[in-house]
Amino acid sequence: MSLLELDRVGKSFGPNTAVEEFSLGVAKGEFISFLGPSGCGKTTTLQMIAGFLDPSQGAIRLEGKDLVAVPPAKRGLGIVFQSYALFPHMTAAENVAFGLEMRKVARNEREERVRSALTLVGLAGYEDRHPRRMSGGQQQRVALARALVIRPSVLLLDEPLSNLDARLREDMQIELRQIQRNLGTTTILVTHDQIEAMSLSDRIVVMSKGRIEQIGTPQEVYEQPASAFVAQFLGKTNEFAATVARTADQAKLVAGSWSAPAPVGVSGTVTVTVRPERISFGDAGLAGRITSRIFQGNHWLFQCDTECGPAIVIRQNDGQMQPEQGAAVHLVWQDADMSLRAAKAAA
């Protein structure tokens, strides 16, 4: 049984539908990310879980109990906002203790839990510091400690790392995942950052225009995208059309000089998706020519013109000779490294 269940949840604002038929079960201890561009409905969905918005339809249940009629403060959820929303006149310890005070936790227990929460997020010794005297990363840790100290059944994170610089954001991703694993807190993260979602999540819910495009593990949504949107939103990708050619004893996918055995049940024209890092240069395959090559430290990025249109190839900087700009090449990959979908789905 899921700890948290959303059953065909929807939200409309007048004639505009923000979220449509959203269904998801979240297991206890699971880390889920809602991933998508601005306006896709991910924050609206999080706000319905938190109780800040009422759904227009559907049900939200926590441990089998209906949440829709329960006020936000009584849902037992921890929330970290993008802006952190710390009280500027309170110290770090006072900010963290606020939720416990509202729940009338005894002073001795409150002080111990605040101390433990600040230690957990690496802020032992910062108890008396005010937010204005703390860095963005430290403020984010205080906000996280404040959400965790109440021991929430579900932790909701609304793009909490978006205000941090790239290096600190990466460090905080690692720390956040480690804290979540150690505590086993069920967590839902809203983000538009694909790397963040793939780094942190057990499963990712990819959203577009208020609808779920795909739900799966990071590996599933990256390597087996269910739609053109998912393939293009999660990192760089190559797509081209191939046709199934059948003979008396076999069926092949064919696109220019490239061919591969056609999976059972595939027919007509399909869209082939291959990630750039799965492609190598070989003696035979999809013919093309290098139009540019860019050195990016630990890898090279090649742009190619092929018989089937432009393609990107990413090769590790392993010290081996790399093709020069203008060189004729053949692009090759393993059958297991490509995904297929009906051509009409690419429209």
Dihedral sign for Cα atoms in the order 45, 198, 181, 202: positive
pLDDT tens string 231-250: 889 888 999 999 988 877 78
Q: Where are the domains of the chain?
A: 4-232, 236-346
CB-CB contact of 80 with 141 (8 Å): no
Integer Cα distance of 32 and 77 in angstroms: 15
**pLDDT the model gives residue 284:** 86
Q: What is the pLDDT of residue 345?
A: 43
Task: Classify domain 4-232 at the CATH superfamily level.
Answer: P-loop containing nucleotide triphosphate hydrolases (3.40.50.300)
Q: Are 142 and 97 in contact (CB under 8 A)?
A: no
- The top-scoring range by mean pLDDT among 135-139, 207-211, 261-265 is 207-211
Question: By percentage, how much of the chain surpasses pLDDT 90?
Answer: 62
Once rounded to an integer, what is the mean pLDDT over residues 142-147?
91
Q: 319 and 304 in contact (C-beta within 8 Å)? A: no
Integer Cα distance of 175 and 196 in angstroms: 12
- Cα(31)–Cα(4) distance, integer angstroms: 12
**Element housing 199 (H / E):** helix 194-200
346, pLDDT greater than 60: no
Domain 236-346 in CATH 3.40.50.720: no
